[in-house]
Amino acid sequence: MAHTKTVTRVSTQVGIVGAGPAGLLLAHLLHLRGIESVVLEARSRDYVENRLRAGVLEQGTADLLTATGLGERMRRQGLVHDGIFLRFAGRSHRIDFRELTGKAILVYGQHEVVRDLVAARLAYGGPLRFDVDGVRVEGLTSHRPTIRFRDASREEVELTCDFIAGCDGFHGVCRPSIPPSAIHFFEREFPFAWLGILAEAPPSSTELVYAHHERGFALLSMRSPTVSRLYLQCAPNEDLGDWSDDRIWSELRTRLATRDGFALKDGPILQRGITPMRGFVAEPMRFGRLFLAGDAAHIVPPTGAKGLNLAVADVQWLAEALGAFFRSGDETLLEQYSARCLQRVWKAERFSSWMTAMLHRVTGQSDYDYRVQLAELDYIASSKSAQATLAENYVGLPFS
């Protein structure tokens, strides 16, 4: 006799696919509004909590985390930066965010944000399932869409929801579940990448340094008073095996050098990897009762430090819209969600693309274009108005 496969059927108000910062923060914001959710994640908890990503929080992001009870460890360990340095032609020029905008940024690793969110989720007992497999989203235009998956014990589960939030990243299952005729993609691949390292070395600067050099871009960042994060522009198909520790440090010293003898502090390299540079936007960010948020809907080149912050803006607005619906049945904000998010997304794409074009060398670049880059940098260094434009975008445009 054939055995019938047992399926466990459960329901919730909002099914959230993806336990990155977008999915976890959305779950937290919904919890504060008394809205139930279930968070599903294909990876393990250890992987999610230790996956290194960007660590620059806009003023609005840091304020939101604090206001929603997630800021205790961030306030203790995060590094407040009141500006950044632009470095070109052997000289550094500081952009004073505090003076220009009254705001600052906070350096606090994305994996640390995720750890805080996981801890908060578990503290109030919100359903959070890691190591799920075979996720499928179905019935997206019905009033009760479904998420089917196998849990960590490989049991088949059918989760029925009022809404589904696709927070499962660029390679997730939610966006591809939208019919091709219902969504448009805007993409740009940049002809270079970043070779990034995490090093056990004290930061060589009190604030981030964005360096333009004839050999290519370099970025000096940090994770803590004892750990540095540094990047080098490289080819997209770069072989990490060709980059020894000595070669990496030598190239960083060359590109970050100044005429007044800047000294780069080095140390053991803990991690290294290649980060591709791309821009991507999916429009609209909604199909039926599926809402996309974060990297599932958009990718920005990392030069402007906008990825995590865009995800935070998305889910803040989505939580507000879902809150209005569950309070009164009003779908106005849900209908406005995509357009509202995309207005901010495209401004972030513009800013990130501008920063990228200004700071990176392109293979075959003409002397003319190189001189234009230097002129652009010199204009920013000498103009308070130009600095104010950069600062306003970097610290973060208002969420509302």
Contact present, 71 and 325 (Cβ < 8 Å): no
Question: Which residue of the set 301, 306, 337, 360 is catalytic?
Answer: 306
Question: Which residue of the set 203, 301, 302, 337 is catalytic?
Answer: 302
Helix axes 384-395, 332-359, angle to 10 degrees: 130
CA distance 286 to 288: 6
Question: Which residue of the set 108, 210, 231, 337 is catalytic?
Answer: 210
Contact present, 12 and 159 (Cβ < 8 Å): yes
CA distance 199 to 373: 30
Order of all β-strands in the sheet with 79-81: 56-57, 105-107, 79-81
H-only helix segments in 21-151: 21-32, 45-50, 59-67, 72-77, 97-101, 110-123
CA distance 139 to 84: 47
CA distance 280 to 278: 7
Contact present, 166 and 311 (Cβ < 8 Å): no
Question: Which residue of the set 108, 231, 337, 394 is catalytic?
Answer: 394
CA atoms within a 13 Å half-sphere pointing along the CA-CB vector of 227: 15
CA distance 296 to 176: 10
Active site residue 210: yes
Question: Which residue of the set 31, 81, 111, 360 is catalytic?
Answer: 81
H-only helix segments in 264-383: 307-328, 332-359, 367-382
Find the distance separating the first CA and the last CA of the chain, reported in whole Å: 60
Residue from 211, 209, 362, 339 nearest 277 by CA: 362
Active site residue 81: yes
Active site residue 302: yes
Number of other residues whose CB lies within 10 A of the CB of residue 23? 31
Residue from 108, 273, 145, 262 nearest 199 by CA: 273
Catalytic residue numbers, as ranges: 81, 210, 302, 306, 394
